[in-house]
Structure 1
Amino acid sequence: MIRFFDLFFSALGLLLGWPALLLIALIGMWDTGSPIFRQQRVGRFQKPFILLKFRTMRPGTASVATHLVSNSAVTPFGRFLRRTKLDELPQLWNVLKGEMSLVGPRPCLFNQHELIEARVRKGVFNARPGITGLAQISEIDMSTPELLARVDARMLQSLNLRAYFRYILLTVSGKGTGDRLRL
């Protein structure tokens, strides 16, 4: 049933949101010269997939977890996109393709070995990664891999339709700040 809602809401979001997506892409073109950011991430069953986001950092920024990147790498428009979570909108395409869910553990990078090991031990990779989840609304990011894997596993064990909609509504209403940046 969750997959049905993933398909329905991602298709609806892309269909109704295309003017906003286009406007953000045009502003992003002016801001960084390359509005869409593509990055290989760890997906379900540890299979790689290409995650899509609006670019919030200057091109050429190191491909590491956000908490390891200097705050100065984020552009002013990128700060706005992160604060409003609009940078995540292109991931609706990942959801529609079946690589992600609206709700699930945030997909990590292949160089985040400690997090990958912790998630393997907790069985987190048996689920599709998500745009949001319990860790995001609880302001737990990838800088604390053991805690993140524990929270992800707890979320997946209790994920039902009610929790699914709760995580989405809390995210849309502004709960959680996303990945922390180093000061």
Structure 2
Amino acid sequence: MTRAIDYGNLMHRAMRGLIRSVLEDVAAHGLPGAHHFFITFDTTHPDVAIADWLRERYPEEMTVVLQHWYSGLEVTEDGFSITLNFGNAPEPLVIPFDAVRTFVDPSVEFGLRFESQSDEDEEDEEEDEAGEESAAEAGDQPGSGEDPGPRKAEVVSLDQFRKT
């Protein structure tokens, strides 16, 4: 068996470390300037702790906003806990970094998106299905002829775009 470097998992670990560092700074010093965060997380993750009514309302994923009203932000090696305001009712949340799907700071147009292997598999299946449907639809069109089959990759030279 050949050993390989798992760059995908290494990148995810590094990106989660970045989120941890940012949240540690916010926990210590507050949100600077116009910074605020949209954090989407997997509510089915076994270590997510949220109120039952939130889990019922968001059975798969939930997006929270850290901006004006939050308290008790605590960051650990594995995740963070925070109390957020939902309709004037404070609710504590515990979110492991492994459950985070997206982290966005729109004030500086920064965002991270985490894709699990199952997400990538689903996208591949959707692309395959879309390709099959497109080919089937094209074959049904009058004058479409036969399916030309898979296309070959084309190498494009960037020399034409270089400044001289």
| TM norm. shorter chain > 0.5 | no
Higher relative contact order (CA 8 A, sep 6+): 1
Q: TM-score range by the shorter chain?
A: under 0.3
Larger Rg: 2
TM-score, structure 2 as length reference: 0.26
TM-score, structure 1 as length reference: 0.25
Q: Which structure has the highest helix share of the two? A: 1
